[in-house]
Chains A and B, each alone.
Chain A
């Protein structure tokens, strides 16, 4: 079952499971992750460290490294140019995935310093993306690069082409990375915590830029973050991930106004807000810590920390999924919660 949207889907992920080979066993890192994103839509994939949100993003690009691999599921990309493929069936290398990675799908990472080669100019690194994917000359690639640098708000874009990453500040480097991800006009942009390393005032500028570019270019964005403030500002829809599974999905308003999974509710209760100064509200931490994926809790993985767990049922069986379309919740109380 996948989340439906009103827009034509750019990406449909269904029952994606990723596993880690460790000696002779295989450990499930994510289980049956399903979501889809339509054109011009932003889906926020929210989770804490170890929830599996970043490996899910990497799997979408066939960038899983080391002992990680896709064990089952589908990742169907339908690009704006009509091209369609199940990425899960493509290998990590080869012409097919290379026609997608960097061209029909772009990705921006948290750390803009380590995402650029320090010994090549910014211009060379952006133009390379164009010449690899398209049959254009160096001059045209350079022109396109400068055009994108201008679009992301870098002053003197033509001059910037010949500068090196170390000459850029953190915010400018992140803009350059966005330019590189967008230079081939991708249908899907994956943004993995793109503002975590930046100052708040710069973060605001980058988020504004991403929204503007999304509207202008009509791409879909998978936005990975743990910051609920950014989710509220950026996302159309939200998927909440916990210990390898998506436990709740819904529109951003549904998630913030009527959270139905106990983990989502707990997460919202745990965040301080600026308005609290007057109310003297005491934030409510979630007891315990994230489970170890090597020895995950049985049944529902949230049950050891869950205030409404039903014993022994929640520790014995994986909870059913309730809801339909874009509003799903994986919890035994899901049906009652959604009906409220």
Chain B
């Protein structure tokens, strides 16, 4: 069984008119009927443009945002938790199994707490099933995880402001991991960091995954970073998953026109790589007022009448590779490498 199963999950935000007799005047389906699984030990990448619902989806798995409908099931060692059915108290306890790392390490750490306090709080806040830990045990856990995340013991008594962005992200990762969670939702964990620091954090996440047996949902818009760290990738567009499959297949033999367009837009760090054609015109439609049928049809060069009438279901086109497109079997798409021409030798040396 997968560690995490998400079935038909939707998150709708309603917009209300003001005043005493306030009523609903509109709604945005930020996440619309999304289903997927994540196996233990793997990393699923979640990519898409801003406003596609990636962050909302990540948050709703932990019920940081309440889903409107659908189920989320987590299967930690020796148990099964239906996250969407849990009461407040049980949900708090369930969070020991799933944690989150946020984009901005400047606003996600309490400036009034020392690193030691930040890292020990999850252990002492009554989130775990286990008996209460003694002070010495808490300390041992904190030191252990801090060291694993590349922080030194004498840094523990300092406050977040004394750290650079990359080091703060290490603190945030240590805080997420101190409860030994099964699943970690990483929401753009490197996008606010400098290039040279991004690589440090990517490698740290990869190493921790191996040594601690972690499972990640890795939300990012940097497609090269996603390719680097993820086994499988899900592509989102306006609240729906349009394609999901093994990273290699999604990148090199995409089956959805939006995936192809996304790949075409990544500038490759190689001056001799031929310019990729820009395959996507216009901008994404207003999520409050999505197009009928297939939501991508207004920017799709293959769209037909059928696409305007019927929303395409996400269906398996190969083992473990699913696509939501009516025409996927008849259109020819190019992958990330075909788009840029032959592979070039890497620079430098």
Using a CB–CB cutoff of 8 Å, the interface residues on chain A facing chain B are: 48-49, 169, 171-172, 199-205, 207-208, 226-233, 235, 252-253, 256-259, 265-278, 281-287, 289-290
Contact assessment for B267 and A270 in the assembled complex, using a CB-CB cutoff below 8 Å: no
CB pairs A–B below 8 angstroms (20 shown): A48-B196, A203-B267, A204-B267, A233-B271, A252-B271, A257-B348, A267-B196, A269-B348, A270-B199, A271-B199, A272-B202, A272-B224, A272-B225, A272-B227, A273-B224, A276-B224, A282-B203, A286-B196, A289-B166, A289-B197
A202, A252, A258, A265 — most chain B CB neighbours (10 Å): A202
| Interchain CB contact under 8 A, A202 and B283 | yes
Contact check, A286 vs B336: say whether CB atoms are below 8 A apart. Answer: no
Complex contacts, A203 vs chain B, CB 8 Å: 265, 267
* Residues of B149-202 contacting chain A, CB below 8 A: 164, 166-167, 194-200, 202
| Distance, CA A213 to CA B95, complexed state (A) | 52
> What is the minimal beta-carbon distance from B203 to any residue of chain A, in angstroms?
6
Decide yes or no whether B77 CB sits under 8 A from chain A: no
Knowing that A274-B268, A274-B337 touch, tell me 4 more A-B residue pairs with CB under 8 angstroms.
Answer: A200-B49, A204-B267, A231-B269, A276-B227
Q: How far is the CB of A338 from chain B (nearest CB, A)?
A: 14
Q: Is there an interface contact between B268 and A229, defined as CB atoms closer than 8 Å?
A: yes
| Residues in B neighbouring A233, C-beta threshold 8 A | 267-268, 271, 275
Distance in angstroms between the alpha carbons of A49 and B272 in the assembled complex: 27
- Distance in Å from the Cβ of B186 to the closest Cβ of chain A? 15
Contact with A along B236-277 (1 / 0, CB 8 A): 000000000001100110000000011111111111110110
Question: Is there an interface contact between B167 and A289, defined as CB atoms closer than 8 Å?
Answer: yes
Nearest chain-B residue to A271 (Cβ)? B269
Which residue of A has the minimal Cβ distance to B281?
A205
**Contact: A253 with B272, CB < 8 Å?**
yes
* B13 located at the interface, meaning its Cβ lies under 8 Å from any Cβ of chain A in the complex: no
Q: Does residue B133 face the partner (Cβ distance < 8 Å to A)? A: no
A257 proximity list for chain B (CB < 8 A) = 271, 347-348
Report the separation of the CA atoms of residues A295 and B272 in the bound assembly, to the nearest whole angstrom: 39
Bound: A287/B197 CA distance, A: 8
Q: Which residues of B contact A204 (CB under 8 A)?
A: 264-265, 267, 276, 278, 280
Q: Is the CB of B267 within 8 A of A265?
A: no
B319 at the interface (CB under 8 A from A): no
In the complex, are the beta carbons of B283 and A268 less than 8 A apart? no
Q: CB distance B348 to A259 under 8 Å?
A: yes
- What's the least CB distance linking B300 to chain A, in Å? 13
Bound: A171/B196 CA distance, A: 28
Whether B221 and A199, one on each chain, are in contact in the complex, defined by CB atoms closer than 8 angstroms, is yes
Q: Are A256 and B195 in contact (CB under 8 A)?
A: no
* Min distance, Cβ A51 to any Cβ of chain B, angstroms: 9
Q: Is the CB of B283 within 8 A of A172?
A: yes
Answer whether residue B59 sits at the interface, using C-beta atoms and an 8 A cutoff: no
Across the interface, name the chain A residue whose C-beta is closest to B51: A199
- Determine how close the nearest CB of chain B comes to the CB of A195; give it in whole angstroms: 9
Please give, as numbers and ranges, the residues of chain A lying within 8 Å of B270 by CB-CB distance: 232, 256, 273
Q: How far is the CA of A277 from the CA of B264 in the complex (A)?
A: 17
The one of B197, B247, B340 in contact with A277, judged by C-beta atoms closer than 8 angstroms, is B247
In the assembled complex, the Cα of A204 lies from the Cα of B261 at a distance in Å of 10
Known contacts A200-B266, A285-B200: A274-B251 contact under CB 8 Å: yes
The chain B residues found within 8 Å of chain A, CB to CB, are 49-50, 164, 166-167, 194-200, 202-203, 221, 223-225, 227-228, 247-248, 251-252, 261-273, 275-276, 278, 280-281, 283-284, 336-337, 340, 343, 346-348
Flag if B267 contacts A232 (CB, 8 Å): yes
Nearest CB of chain A from residue B305's CB, rounded to whole Å: 24
Q: Is the CB of A201 within 8 A of B49?
A: yes
Q: 9 tightest A-B contacts by CB?
A: A229-B267, A285-B199, A286-B196, A272-B228, A285-B200, A270-B199, A199-B49, A228-B269, A48-B194
B163 to chain A, nearest CB (A): 9
Q: In this complex, what residue of B is CB-closest to A259?
A: B348
In the complex, what residues of A have CB within 8 A of residue B197's CB? 285, 289
In the complex, chain B residues whose CB is within 8 Å of the CB of A172: 283
Name the residue on B nearest A242 (C-beta): B196
Q: Which residue of B lies closest to A49 (CB)?
A: B194
Nearest chain A CB to B83's CB is how many angstroms away? 30
- Which chain A residue lies CB-closest to B339? A274
Query: How far is it, in angstroms, between the C-alpha of A269 and the C-alpha of B228 when the chains are bound?
Result: 13
* Most chain A CB atoms below 10 A, which of B221, B271, B336: B271
Measured between beta carbons, the chain A residues less than 8 angstroms from B278 are 201, 204-205, 208
Partner of A256, one of B200, B252, B267, B269: B269
Complex formed: what's the CA distance from A205 to B267 in Å?
12
Q: Which residue of B lies closest to A198 (CB)?
A: B50
CB pair B273–A232 under 8 Å, yes or no, is yes
**Cβ-defined contact, A284 with B199, below 8 A:** yes
Contact A274 B271 (CB under 8 A): no
Residue of B nearest to A199 (CB): B49
Contact between B227 and A171, CB atoms less than 8 A apart: no
Contact A229 B196 (CB under 8 A): no
What residues of chain B lie closer than 8 Å to A277, measured between beta carbons? 227-228, 247-248, 251-252
Smallest Cβ-Cβ distance to A292: which chain B residue: B164
What are the residues of chain B within 8 A of A259 when measuring CB–CB? 347-348
Instruction: Kindly provide the distance from the CB of B244 to the nearest chain A CB, expressed in whole angstroms.
Output: 16
A50 to chain B, nearest CB (A): 8
Q: When chains A and B are docked, how far (Å) is the Cα of A205 from the Cα of B49? A: 14
A270 touches B262 (CB 8 A): no
Which residues of chain A have C-beta atoms less than 8 A from B267's C-beta? 203-204, 207, 227, 229-230, 232-233
Distance in angstroms from B247 CB to nearest chain A CB is 6
